[in-house]
Structure 1
C-alpha cells in the first residue's frame, strides 16, 4: 500500500513545525526520515497516524484521503509505535500484544485461533515469547519497546509507522528489527537517528531540516558529506559498507566548514 504526503504543513502557536512536506513511500518500501532534533520528523509521523491533523495538505493511503476514513478503518491500515510510547496499566505482555487486534474485533469479542497465532508469531519475531505472562511494568525499556512493536505487527497493517523504533534496543535487537523490516510486507515510514543504520535498512531516505525537506532519494544520494555537514553540523567521511555497499559515515571531531547554508530539496 503506497503512502503519500502531499504538501503537508503543521503550524502550532504561530510556529511552523512542518512546511509543505511532500513525500511518497511506495508499496512495501522502507523510507527513513532523518534530521536533527526539532526538524519535524515526529510531527510528520503524527500526521500519518492521526495524532495530529495537518494545518494544510493531505495524507493519502492507497489513494484515499486519510482524513476521510473512520478511526477504526485507518487503524486497520496503519499501525504505529511512538518514541514516548508507554504502558501504565498492569497488563501482561500477551495482553498488550493482543490489543493490536482491537481494530479488527467488535466489542468484547474474544481472540480466535488465528488471532492467538498472530500474537504468538509476533512475540516470537520480537523475542518476547518467554515474557508473555510477565507484567509490562516489570520490563526493561528495551523489552517494553519490543512489546509495543509486536502489538503494531499484530494489527497486520498495510503501513507501519515507527518513531525511533531502535530506541532502548541493544545492538542485536536493533539489527534484527531493521533486517525484518526489509521485505516484511507493509510499507514502512521510520524515523531513525543512527544514519548508518538508516542507510543499511532504508530503500530511500528523506532528510529534513527546520521542518522542510532538504533531500530525498537512495541513501547514497542523500547522505553525502556536504549535506551531512550542512544539516547536522558534523564532518563525516562516507565509505561503502564492505558487504552491502550502503554508505557508512565515519565521523570526525573537527567542526565542518559549511558554505552557503542548508541546501533545499528541488
Structure 2
C-alpha cells in the first residue's frame, strides 16, 4: 500500500508546523524522515496515522483520501508507534499486544486461535515472549518500546509508522528492529535522529527543515557534508560502510566554526 502526503500544511495557533509538504512512499518502501528538532517530522507522521488532520492538503492511501475511512478501517491499514505511547495502566505484555487486534475484532469475545498466533508471532519478532505475563509498568523503557512495536505488528498493517522507534533500545535491539524493517515487506515511514541508522535502514531519506522537505532521495545522494551542515549545523566526514557501502557520518567533537545557514542547537 502506498502513502502520499499531497501539499499537506498543518497550522496550530497560527503557526505552520508543516507547510505544503509533499512526500510519496511506494508500497513496500522504507522511507526515513530526518531533520533537526522542530522540523515537522512527528507532525507529518501524525497526519498519516490520523492523530492530526491537515489544515490543508490530503493524505492518501493507495490514492484514496484517508479521511474518508472510518477510524477502524484506517487502523486496519496503518499502525503507529509514537514517542508518547507508553501505557499508563499495568496490563500484562500479552494483553497490551492483544490490543493490536482491536481493529479486526468486534465484540467482547475472546481472541480466536489465529489471532492469538498473530500476537505470539509479534512478540517473538521483537523478543518480548519471555515477558508475556509481566505487568508492562514493571518493564524498562526499552522493553516497553518493544512491546509497543509488537502491538503495532499485531495489527497486521500494510503501513507501519514509527516515531523514533530506537529510543531506549540497546544496540542489539536497534539493529534487530531496523533489520526487520528492511525485510518485512510493509510500507514503512519512520522518523529517526541517528543518521547512520537511517542510512542503513531506509531506501530513501526525506530531509525536513522548518516544516518542508528540502531534499529527498537515496541516503547516498542525500547525506552529503554540505546538506548535513546546512540542515543540522555540523559538517561531518562521510565514509562508506565496508560491507554495505551505505554512507556513514563521522563527527568531530570539539569547537568548530559556525556553518553559514546551518541549524544550531
> Does the pair score TM above 0.5?
yes
Q: In structure 2, how many angstroms separate the alpha carbons of the residues matched to 1:112 and 1:157?
A: 19
Name 1:246's counterpart in structure 2. 246
Q: Describe how 1:115-130 pairs up with structure 2 within 5 A.
A: 115-130=115-130
Aligned: 1:97 with 2:86? no
4+ long deviations beyond 6 Å: none
Instruction: Provide TM-score, normalisation by structure 1.
Output: 0.96
Structure 1 vs Structure 2 CA RMSD: 1.2
Q: CA deviation at 1:257?
A: 5.1
SS at match of 2:18: strand
Q: Which runs of 5+ in 2 are unaligned?
A: none
Name 1:55's counterpart in structure 2. 55
Q: Which runs of 5+ in 1 are unaligned?
A: none
Q: CA deviation at 1:160?
A: 0.2
> In 2, are the aligned partners of 1:2 and 1:187 still within 8 Å (CA)?
yes
Q: CA deviation at 1:90?
A: 1.6
Name 2:259's counterpart in structure 1. 258
Q: CA deviation at 1:258?
A: 3.4
SS at match of 1:249: strand
Name 2:192's counterpart in structure 1. 192
> How many equivalent residue pairs?
262
For residues 95-142 of structure 1, what are the alpha-carbon distances to aligned partners after superposition, in whole Å with 9 as ceiling and x for unaligned?
000000000010212211111111111111110000000000100000
Q: In structure 2, how many angstroms separate the alpha carbons of the residues matched to 1:5 and 1:13?
A: 22
Q: In structure 2, how many angstroms separate the alpha carbons of the residues matched to 1:161 and 1:10?
A: 18
Q: CA deviation at 1:212?
A: 1.0
> In 2, are the aligned partners of 1:82 and 1:163 still within 8 Å (CA)?
yes
Aligned: 1:221 with 2:221? yes
